[in-house]
Amino acid sequence: MAHQIFTVSPDLKVVDLEQELYANRITGAPVVDGREVVGVVSRSDIDRLVVHQGSGPAATASFYWQGDLPAGDEPAAPEEPASTAAVEILQDTLVREIMTTGVISVSPEDPISRVARLMHDRRIHRVLVVENGELQGLISSIDLVGVLASAES
């Protein structure tokens, strides 16, 4: 479980969110207003925004592609208008407009099997750990993979 949690404000522009996610090498974050957890936002939410607004999947691929793939694995670059449209959508949208508000959380005492079941059943990649209304941590799907890997050692 991650104890130092990267959180974002609901008033953050989505273009800034994307830059923060990329810089921190993460795919999502809790959305906190003051001390209250009000949602969760992920790259999937960003993808849905861009595709739903009519720019299509090519715009999303262009925005995310950073040129660090192995040779021969680069995605075909879309035409410039789609990329520009995607950036404009991201600049004009706030996190609060795309975040998921139905936060799935567990307590620090809940067994890891409950976390895994929630992730599987709800098809989510992160579960917040909350105690007395305060965010204590975050368990990601990669954390669960780590638990499984260490169990085999």
Q: For residues 48 and 24, what is the distance between their CA atoms, to the nearest angstrom?
A: 21
Encoding tokens for residue 134? 């305060």
In the CATH hierarchy, which top-level class contains the domain 14-151? alpha beta
- 48-107 tens-digit pLDDT: 888 877 545 444 444 444 444 445 554 444 444 446 777 788 888 999 999 999 889 999
- 7-54 tens-digit pLDDT: 999 999 999 999 999 999 899 999 999 888 999 999 999 988 888 775
pLDDT at 83: 64
- 102-143 tens-digit pLDDT: 889 999 999 999 999 999 999 999 999 998 878 999 999 999
User: Helices in 25-79 by DSSP H: which ranges?
Assistant: 43-52, 56-64
For residue 142, what are the CA distances in angstroms to 38, 59, 119? 23, 27, 11
